[in-house]
C-alpha cells in the first residue's frame, strides 16, 4: 500500500518513484486535483477509482475509502492512494497511514511537490530569499474560526546552530516538553533519526553523533513517528511494499 503525492498539477512534476508506483498499481484511488493524464501511466488492468471531493461533497466517504484500501491490500493487490500535492500536507495522508498501521498493512509514503512550492516556482515568488524572508508559514483556510493548534516548526541546516535554535524557540514560548525530531540525511539510505523533546534534542543529537545535513522538526505531530515511521534506511524496491 502506497500513499503517493501527485504534485501541484502538471503530470511532469510527479516524482520518478511516484510514477513507478502508478505504473505497477493494481488499484488507484485518486483525488479531484490529480490530472487524469497521470492515470494513463497505469497498466491496462488497473482499476482507477475517483474519490475526490467537490463543493463539500465527496464521491466516496473518507472512512469508506480507507476500508476499501485495507480490503484491497489484504487481498494482495498493489494499492496506490494518489493525492494532489504531498500526501502529508493538508491531504489527510497521516490519518490514512495511521489506519493502515493499525490494520497491520505495510505502507510507503512517496512525497510530492506541494502546491506552495509549485505556485512559488510557477509565479516567480521565492518563498525564502536572502535579506527578504528566512521562514515560511503554511496555513489552510479550512477550519477557519477554530482555535489553531501550535504550528509544526521545521528548521533546515540545523546541525551547526541547534542549541541556538532551541533557545530561540523556547524564548518564543515553545515548552521544553514539546516533541522534537532530528533527522540526518533524510530519505537517503544513510538516514538516521533521533526523537526527543525540544529541551533535550540538542543533547540527544550529540549523543547519537548526528551531523549535517540535519533537519529539525518540532511539534505534537512528532508523536506520530513511532507509529508511522515506515522507512528504516536502504532503498526499498518498488515490488517490496503493497502486497
Q: Is residue 243 part of a domain?
A: no
Taking residues 10-33, what's their average pLDDT? 97
pLDDT value at 243 more than 50: no
The reply to whether 181 and 107 lie within a common domain is no
- Pair 6, 112 in one domain: yes
Same domain, 162 and 94: no
Q: 134 pairs with which residues across the strands?
A: none
pLDDT at 237: 67
Q: 44: Cβ–Cβ under 8 A, 6 or more apart, which residues?
A: none
At 121, the pLDDT band (50, 70, 90 cuts) reads very high
Range of the domain at 82: 2-116
Q: Let me know whether 103 and 9 are in one domain.
A: yes
CA 21/CA 42 separation, integer angstroms = 9
Shared domain for 26 and 96, answered yes or no, is: yes
- Supply 69's cell numbers: 484500501
Q: Residues of 213-237 as b/e, b for ≥16 C-beta within 10 angstroms?
A: ebbbbbbebbeeeeebeeeeeeeee
* Residue 199 domain-assigned (yes or no): yes
Instruction: Answer yes or no: do 71 and 174 share one domain.
Output: no
86 and 178 inside one domain: no
pLDDT for position 61:
87
pLDDT in the model for residue 159: 95
**194 falls within a domain:** yes
Kindly state whether residue 134 falls inside one of the protein's structural domains.
Answer: no
Q: Mark whether 21 and 85 lie in a shared domain.
A: yes
CA atoms lying within 13 Å on the CB side of residue 233: 8
Q: What is the CATH number for 52?
A: 3.40.1010.10
Domain limit, last residue, from 116, 144, 173? 116
Whether residues 16 and 105 fall in one domain: yes
Same domain, 111 and 157: no
Q: Whole-angstrom Cα distance, residue 116 to residue 121?
A: 9
Residue 73 in domain: yes
Are 112 and 169 within one domain? no
Q: Are 175 and 100 members of one domain?
A: no
pLDDT in tens, 183-197: 999 999 999 999 999
C-alpha cell at 191: 538516514
Local confidence band at 7 (pLDDT 50, 70, 90 cut-offs) = very high
Counted domains in the chain: 2
Residues 6+ apart with CB under 8 A from 240: none
- Does residue 238 form part of some domain? no
Q: Would 74 be classed as within a structural domain?
A: yes
In a domain, 236, yes or no: no
Output 101 or 240, whichever has higher pLDDT.
101
**What CATH number should be reported for the domain holding residue 205?**
3.30.950.10
Q: Find, among 155, 182, 179, 150, the residue nearest to 168 by Cα.
A: 155
Q: Which residues of 69-81 are buried (b: 16+ CB within 10 A; e: fewer)?
A: bbebbeeebbbbb
Is the predicted pLDDT of residue 131 greater than 50, yes or no?
yes
pLDDT band at 223 (very low <50, low <70, confident <90, very high): very high
Annotate 17-31 with three-state secondary structure.
Answer: HHHHHHHHCCEEEEC
- Mean pLDDT rounded to a whole number for the chain: 92
Amino acid at each position: 500500500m502506497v500513499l503517493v503525492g501527485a504534485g501541484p498539477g502538471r503530470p511532469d512534476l510527479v516524482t520518478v518513484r511516484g510514477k513507478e508506483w502508478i505504473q505497477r498499481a493494481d488499484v488507484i484511488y485518486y483525488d479531484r486535483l490529480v490530472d487524469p493524464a497521470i492515470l494513463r501511466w497505469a497498466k491496462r488492468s488497473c482499476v482507477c477509482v475517483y474519490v475526490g471531493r467537490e463543493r463539500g461533497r465527496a464521491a466516496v466517504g473518507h472512512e469508506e475509502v480507507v476500508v476499501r484500501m485495507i480490503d484491497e491490500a489484504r487481498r494482495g493487490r498493489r494499492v496506490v492512494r494518489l493525492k494532489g500535492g504531498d500526501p502529508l500536507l493538508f491531504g489527510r495522508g497521516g490519518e490514512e497511514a495511521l489506519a493502515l498501521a493499525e490494520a497491520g498493512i505495510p505502507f510507503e509514503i512517496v512525497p510530492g511537490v506541494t502546491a506552495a512550492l509549485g505556485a512559488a516556482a510557477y509565479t516567480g515568488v521565492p518563498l525564502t530569499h536572502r535579506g527578504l524572508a528566512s521562514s515560511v508559514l503554511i496555513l489552510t483556510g479550512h477550519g477557519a474560526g477554530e482555535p489553531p493548534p501550535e504550528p509544526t516548526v521545521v528548521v533546515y541546516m540545523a546541525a551547526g546552530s541547534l542549541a541556538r535554535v532551541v533557545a530561540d524557540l523556547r524564548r518564543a514560548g515553545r515548552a521544553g516538553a514539546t516533541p522534537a525530531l532530528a533527522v540526518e540525511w533524510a530519505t537517503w539510505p544513510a538516514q538516521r533519526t533521533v526523537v526527543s523533546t525540544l529541551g533535550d534534542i540538542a543533547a540527544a543529537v550529540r549523543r547519537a553523533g548526528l551531523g549535517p545535513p540535519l533537519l529539525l522538526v518540532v511539534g505534537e505531530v512528532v508523536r506520530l513517528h513511532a507509529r508511522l515511521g515506515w522507512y528504516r534506511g536502504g532503498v526499498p524496491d518498488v515490488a517490496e511494499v503493497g502486497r
